[in-house]
Amino acid sequence: MPQDNPFSPPKAHVSDSADPWDVDIDSLPVSETWKKRFHWLRKAGGPSMKNLKNMSRTERRRGFHFNILAFLFGPLYYVAKGMWRKGISLFIVCIAVVIAIDFFLAAIGFGQMSKALGYGVAAVYAVRANIDYYKKMVLGDNGWW
């Protein structure tokens, strides 16, 4: 009679995990624009975009989107899309980096340049928004980072 080891880790249910590539993007409750973006991101290799170099230059240019609403509204855009955890964590990290860079610029005498750092934070939100929304809707990952 075999005994189970009480110190062994729990067994994972492999059959319950869904393959993220099996998700039908066309059936998601998002607009057609988002579906096109999701198809492009899947073709590029997902959030890591490992297949980006294999795509043609026109495909790369056509698929890369700077999300203007995320640029303008930042954390509020993330909250509106239901990604409040990522919005908060991204906000905290960006503020910490901005404060560190601000102290550094003030120490070397370029304190006036630190006023432009807010645009950099907005650009981070604009570039990450599409990838984070893909991770939420297609991959089911709506975590803190």
pLDDT tens, residue by residue, 85-120? 999 999 999 999 999 999 999 999 888 888 889 899
pLDDT tens-digit series, residues 126-141: 999 999 999 999 999 8
**pTM of the complete model beyond 0.85:** no
Contact 128, 90 (CB under 8 A): yes
Q: Between the CA of residue 76 and those of 32, 38, 50, 124, what are the distances in Å? A: 23, 22, 29, 14
Tell me whether residue 90 is in a domain. yes
Give the domain extent around 95. Answer: 29-137
Tell me whether residue 122 is in a domain. yes
Tell me whether residue 101 is in a domain. yes
Tell me whether residue 52 is in a domain. yes
Tell me whether residue 3 is in a domain. no
Gap between the Cα atoms of 116 and 119, Å rounded: 6
The one-character DSSP state at 84 is H
Tell me whether residue 72 is in a domain. yes
Looking at the 3D structure of the chain, how many domains does it have?
1
pLDDT of residue 2: 59
